[in-house]
Amino acid sequence: MNDLTRLPASVLREQIAARKISPVELTDAVLARAEKLQPVLNCFITIVADQARAAAKQAEAAVMQGKPLGLLHGIPFAAKDLVNTAGVRTTFGSLHHDDNVPKEDAVCAARVKQAGAILFGKTTTPEFGHKGLTDAPLFGRTRNAWSAERTSGGSSGGAAVAVAAGIGPIGIATDGGGSTRIPAAANGMVGLKQSNGVIPHSQVADAFGNYTYVTPMTRTVMDTALMLQAMAGPHPSDPWSIGIAPQDYIAAARPEGSLKGKRILFSVTLGNTMVAKDVRSAFDQALVKLKDLGAELVELQDELPNMEPIWKVLNHTTWRARFDHLLRREDNRLSPSLVRQVAMAAEWSGTDYQHAMFQRTDLFRRIQGWFETADYLVTPTLSRTALPIDQDLFEPIRIDGVEAGELRRNWFPYTMPFNITGHPALTVCCGYDAEGLPIGLQFIGHFRDEASVLRAAALYEASESWLNRWPDL
């Protein structure tokens, strides 16, 4: 059973189609592991065992009857509890929505189901995904898969931990400032934030000004490609998605060929002030691997402005528009950290918001300029490995024992820019620190060229042996 839950979706789908693995057996193994590890990791808000078992029986019957099978047929998946799932409680991590049951699936969830995957649970998120740490009054803290003393990261902490712990092979996450890539890096997983519109976002309130994404969370680059293939494609609900034809992500994720002829810009800081020694060392070693794969490496001389103030104006004003009515209620039960950030937005005017949008445009054009002469940008994903489990959002973080300043600005300055610009960004594991905690490497590519990013990440992944490591749970 333990071996069954360690197989990637790419292998499981082939074994299921060949009738060597039963969807029922696989689903039972996933549910058993979830039941065993949930008290330790706290990575689920809801588990729907009966529904999953019923769907697994139907999936098995389809295999036995020789029916056409989807890309993810019979494979269990969990969805972050920000993602609507028809008939399954979706709380947004909020006490105000603890009994909310959507009538319809989000487009991303509907497509994963249409590909044959089986929903077995909803993973933890801070309330409305409002921070890069996963805790909420509704469920408490989610622990890192590699250390009970460290945070899972966030806001898709539950999704990352569930995959890292081998509870389920794939999950749906979301990313508004790094919320997929932060926990993926902190738990040694693969986290993709695709370009705007590649996967339709049917729940976002401001589709035109959108900087948030529904995303795959997986263990391998190929599994990310499978999920992306299932979820991508235009949909009327998302104007950014209309007219975009999906690429062949599965072919792209095969680690074939080399990076010969490819030019990679790299930056260990991207304007950041402090980077942990272990992160620098792992990053340098990853660059050597990329050079060995044939790439030309060029250090980026241009530094980005501090992203946090730009992102904060865009993000917090959005939150104020969405959540101010809850904050004003007499029975307000919002997380104090969310309340504090919504209150910040009261200081900003419509002019401030529009200036931030102007800066968003300037930033996009600046990065487009980099890609006129380069194929990729490579950075660390985080400035240090997973933070302590009790880290407060508003307290400074420490890097190599030294106080480094505000969490967002100093832990994940590498992720926020690409939410704002929409360029694809993917994190993979590139090593471990002295305490055995995972370190992330981020690939950024040309706008709407996810296939190229998957290819580079797959080649790097195949050159290393990090996938052989599993957390000792």
| Catalytic residue IDs | 80, 155, 179
Which residue's structure tokens are 């307000």?
Answer: 332
* 49 HSE (CA, 13 A, CB side): 8
What secondary structure does DSSP assign to 348-363, as a single string? --HHHHHHHHHHHHHH
- Those residues whose C-beta lies under 8 Å from the C-beta of residue 46, and which sit 6 or more positions away, are 81, 88, 89, 91, 121, 122
CA 44, CA 102: separation in Å to the nearest integer? 18
Helix (H) or strand (E) run with residue 377 in it = strand 376-380
Q: For 442-462, b where at least 16 C-beta lie within 10 A, e where not — what string?
A: bbbbbbbbbbbbbbbbbbbbe
Rg (CA), the chain: 21
- Residue 354 neighbours by CB distance under 10 Å: 11
Q: Which two tokens stand for residue 188?
A: 């040694």
Any bridge partners for residue 175, and if so which?
A: 213
Secondary structure (3-state) at 98: coil
> Which of 44, 103, 98, 124 minimizes the C-alpha distance to 331?
98
Nearest residue to 45 (alpha-carbon basis) of 149, 120, 146, 151: 120
The torsion defined by the Cα of 317, 319, 322 and 328, in degrees rounded to 10, comes to -100
If phi > 0 it is left, if psi is from -120 to 50 it is alpha, else beta; for residue 269 that is alpha
